[in-house]
Amino acid sequence: MNNPAALPGLLGDTAARNYAHKLKLFNAFAKPEISRAIASLELKPGMRVLDAGCGTGEVLRWLSPQIQPGGIAIGTDLASAHLAAARTLASRDTWLVQADLLAAPFADASFDLIWSSNVIHHLREPSAGVVFLANLLRPGGRVAMGQSSFLPDMYFAWDARLERATNEAVRSYYRDRYQVNEKELTAVRATVGLLRQTGFRNVTANTFMIERVTPLSLEDENYLVEAIFRDTWGPRLQPYLSGEDYGELSRLCDPLHTDFALRRPDFHFLQTFTLVIGEI
C-alpha cells in the first residue's frame, strides 16, 4: 500500500469510477478554446503524442490529425468506462491503454509531446507524476499541461456575493468528501512551479478565456445545466449554504423556473483554460 499507484487518487479516482458524461459535456463545451490551445503547439507530421489521462477521447481525436501523416497518438486513462467511450472515437492511428498514470507501460524517451489536461491535481503526489511523464519524453520533447479554472469561475455577473458563497460551498463540500485541505485543493494553480521544480526548461503559460453570453449554444447550456448546476452544485451544497442562498441558487439553476440563470439577458459566464508547456 506504500505504492502511490495502488491507492485511489486524491479525488477518489479508481479504475471503476465513471464520470464520462461530465467529461464529454466539458469537451463539447470547451472545444473552441481547447482547439486553439492544440493549434498553439504547432505539432508536426510524424510525431508521437501521448494524451495522459485521455478521458473520453475527444482531445485525442483532435490531436491525432495534427501529427499526420506518419504520427502516432496514444491515450491512457485509469477508468474503464472512460476508455470504453474513447474507443468509440478512436481512429486507426490512435492507440488506447488502460493504466494508472504512475505505472503506464511505456518505454522511456517514447514521445515528442505529452498532453495532460485536468489530471495532475488528481494525483496524491503530483511531482511524481510529472517526473514520470518527463522520463517518457525524447530529448527536446515537451509536456503540455492543461488546467481549467486557474481563476475562480464567474457564473452570476449580477450577484458577486452569491457567486462567492457558492464557490466556497463547493470547496467545503470537496474538503469534506475527499478529506483534503485547502492547500491541496489550490495546489493545482502551481503548475508552472511544478514543471520548473521537476527539471523542465523554457516553461511558458498561456490562458485561453472561455466566455459565453446569452443566447447560449446547446453544448454550452448542456454543460452548465448538467455538469455545473446539477452535478457540481445541486442538493450536495444545501448543508453549506444558508436557507436563503440555497433557495435562490436552486431557482437560478432550475430550467423550469422563471428565474433560470441561463435565460437572463445579462447572463455572462467566464472560465479559464490554461496550458503550461515545458521542454525536457
Three cell numbers at 119? 489530471
pLDDT 10s per residue in the chain (280 long)? 344 445 576 666 788 899 999 999 999 999 999 999 999 999 999 999 999 999 999 999 999 999 999 999 999 999 999 999 999 999 888 999 999 988 899 999 999 999 999 998 888 889 999 999 999 999 999 999 999 988 878 999 899 999 999 999 999 999 999 888 877 777 678 899 999 999 999 999 999 999 999 999 999 999 999 999 999 999 999 999 999 999 999 999 999 999 999 999 999 999 999 999 999 9
Domain residue limits, the chain: 4-279
Residue type at 273 in one-letter notation: F
Q: What's the predicted TM-score (pTM) here? A: 0.92
Residues in the chain: 280
Domain 4-279 bears CATH identifier 3.40.50.150 = yes
pLDDT of residue 71: 96
Evaluate whether 93 touches 72 at the Cβ level (below 8 Å).
yes
Q: Within 10 A of 62 (CB to CB), how many other CB atoms are there? A: 20
Q: Residue 7's pLDDT is what?
A: 59
| Per-residue pLDDT at 114 | 98
pLDDT at 93: 84
Closest CA to 78 of 28, 6, 149, 30: 6
User: What's the grid cell of residue 237?
Assistant: 451544497
Closest by CA position to 268, among listed 226, 207, 216? 216
